[in-house]
């Protein structure tokens, strides 16, 4: 990472501003005569690998949490739907029982009513 000139560029935090630091105000101190050897590059490589590895495992953790949340929601909805289905089955059975009773009552009343009343009921039913 050696540059063609040997001038250091100070960051604005040190209070001295050079033309280069005015262009890149957020850059840290860059010195061209630093000794970048294999150990330095290896250390940077390890740092980046650990950082990227952490973000990958973090992503995997987030994916796992999302998957778990979706499973919880799915289980909750499935449970809620099952409860609703059971309630509807009970209500349907109650309505079927009510229909059976009303049909029985209707048959009983028709059997014991005077024929002229029954004819009147049938005529009213046809007019509607």
Residue 3 placed within a domain: yes
Residue 43 placed within a domain: no
- Give the total number of structural domains in the chain: 1
Please report which confidence band the pLDDT of residue 27 belongs to, taking 50, 70 and 90 as the band edges.
Answer: very low
Residue 89 placed within a domain: no
pTM for the structure as a whole: 0.45
Sequence-ordered list of residues with C-beta below 8 angstroms from that of 120, at least 6 positions apart, any chain: none
Determine contact, residues 8/29, Cβ cutoff 8 Å: yes
pLDDT of residue 111: 92
| More confidently predicted of 5 and 84 | 84
Per DSSP, the three-state class of 3 is: coil
Please report which confidence band the pLDDT of residue 10 belongs to, taking 50, 70 and 90 as the band edges.
Answer: very low
| More confidently predicted of 19 and 91 | 91
Which residue range is the domain that position 8 belongs to?
A: 1-34
């Amino acid at each position: 990472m050696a540059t063609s000139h040997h001038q250091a560029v100070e960051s604005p935090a040190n209070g001295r501003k050079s033309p280069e630091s005015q262009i890149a105000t957020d850059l840290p101190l860059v010195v061209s005569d630093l000794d970048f050897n294999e150990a330095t590059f290896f250390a940077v490589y390890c740092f980046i690998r650990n950082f990227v590895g952490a973000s990958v495992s973090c992503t995997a953790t987030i994916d796992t949490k999302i998957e778990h949340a979706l499973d919880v929601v799915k289980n909750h909805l499935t449970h809620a739907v099952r409860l609703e289905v059971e309630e509807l089955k009970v209500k349907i059975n109650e309505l079927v029982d009510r229909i059976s009773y009303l049909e029985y009552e209707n048959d009983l009343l028709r059997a014991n009513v005077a024929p002229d009343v029954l004819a009147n009921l049938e005529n009213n039913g046809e007019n509607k």
